[in-house]
Amino acid sequence: MAQATERIKIAAASNLKFVLADLTAQYRQQTGVEVDVNLGASGNLARQILQGLPVAQFISADEDRVAELVTAGRTVDGGQRYAQGRLALIVPQNSALPLTQGVAALVRAMKPGDKFAIANPALAPYGLAAQQVLQRTGAGPLGGQQLVLGENIGQATQFVATGAAQAGITALALAQAPEMAARLRFQAIAPALHAPLHQRMVLLQGASAAARAWHRYVLSPQARDIFVRHGYGLPQ
């Protein structure tokens, strides 16, 4: 009888959707191991893991959420930085807003009823970084009902991609994905406009040998090249 395919369950921040699709496909091709990815806001995922979510690894968009799990004794160690996150300003493909003039100019050009989407800063590190960009560029706080919050960075991106919001700030890795090219235009945001997005991952207590091997792969030069291709900076 054929041996069942080994499966690893992980939890990962929503900004990693497209890069993890590439990484897990390559890993499956090389090893035959399937990696099942549960995507969400880092804050939500950390809470779910503390409540018993059965995953072997947590790939966060920041370091604070990993530290929560370390403090709670749920991890095998303090984890490792694997990438530096970057942001992008986005508008729908057919938008007339001045995307290339930067965040403040674009916000000034918005009509009173227009919406600007970011991830919820209380849950998503990319949302917190987006909030910092709005403050440092003089674009925020946005008035009235203008600011709309996605539960995670993927949902905030969808708000703009579907036209529910007229602009927003998302992960560069999501904005530049080929899957978004027909729906969005983007402009990378200077990293100096927000606190560094040091992205950290960690293995959880009880992680199998297969999970540990996958973890090593995500830190490998081969995987690092894929992160860079998707718009991430190297870990610092």
Task: Report the DSSP beta bridge partners of residue 233.
Answer: 84
Quick one: average pLDDT of 25-31? 96
Q: Do 168 and 94 share a domain, yes or no?
A: yes
Domain-located, residue 215: yes
Domain-located, residue 40: yes
* pLDDT at residue 142, as a whole number: 84
Domain-located, residue 93: yes
* pLDDT at residue 4, as a whole number: 54
Q: Do 80 and 29 share a domain, yes or no?
A: yes
* pLDDT at residue 190, as a whole number: 96
Quick one: average pLDDT of 198-226? 97
* 134 burial type by CB count under 10 A (0-12 exposed, 13-18 middle, 19+ buried): buried
Quick one: average pLDDT of 163-190? 96
| Angle of CA points 24, 79, 66, to nearest 5° | 95
Domain-located, residue 157: yes
Q: Do 115 and 187 share a domain, yes or no?
A: yes
pLDDT reading at 9 higher than 50 = yes
* pLDDT at residue 2, as a whole number: 37
Q: Work out the pLDDT band at 140, boundaries 50, 70, 90.
A: confident
Flag whether the pTM goes above 0.75: yes
Quick one: average pLDDT of 175-199? 95
Q: pLDDT tens digits, residue range 42-89? A: 999 999 999 999 999 999 999 999 999 999 999 999 999 999 999 999
Q: Cis before residue 141, ω within 30 degrees of 0?
A: yes
Domain-located, residue 235: no
Q: Do 98 and 159 share a domain, yes or no?
A: yes
Alpha-carbon gap, residue 43 to 65, rounded angstroms: 6
Q: Do 92 and 159 share a domain, yes or no?
A: yes
Task: Report the DSSP beta bridge partners of residue 202.
Answer: 58
Domain-located, residue 236: no
**Minimal CA–CA distance to 207: which of 5, 2, 9, 3?**
9
Structural domains of the chain, count: 2
Alpha-carbon gap, residue 166 to 51, rounded angstroms: 37
Q: Do 172 and 90 share a domain, yes or no?
A: yes
Quick one: average pLDDT of 206-233? 97
pLDDT reading at 3 higher than 70 = no
Token pair for 137: 């560029």
Q: Do 103 and 168 share a domain, yes or no?
A: yes
Residue with tokens 């919820």: 120
Q: Do 174 and 133 share a domain, yes or no?
A: yes
**Minimal CA–CA distance to 88: which of 119, 45, 121?**
119
Q: Do 89 and 187 share a domain, yes or no?
A: yes
pLDDT reading at 214 higher than 70 = yes
Domain-located, residue 2: no
Q: Work out the pLDDT band at 6, boundaries 50, 70, 90.
A: confident
Alpha-carbon gap, residue 32 to 29, rounded angstroms: 6
Domain that holds residue 64: 7-84+198-229
Are the C-beta atoms of residues 106 and 99 closer than 8 Å to each other? yes
Q: Do 111 and 176 share a domain, yes or no?
A: yes
Alpha-carbon gap, residue 90 to 167, rounded angstroms: 6
Q: pLDDT tens digits, residue range 145-163? A: 899 999 999 999 999 999 9
Give me the half-sphere count of Cα atoms (radius 13 Å) on the Cβ side of residue 126.
Answer: 37
Alpha-carbon gap, residue 30 to 61, rounded angstroms: 26
Domain with residue 52: its CATH number is 3.40.190.10
Length of the chain: 236
Domain-located, residue 234: no
Q: Do 217 and 120 share a domain, yes or no?
A: no
Q: Do 94 and 16 share a domain, yes or no?
A: no
* pLDDT at residue 89, as a whole number: 98
Average pLDDT, the chain: 95
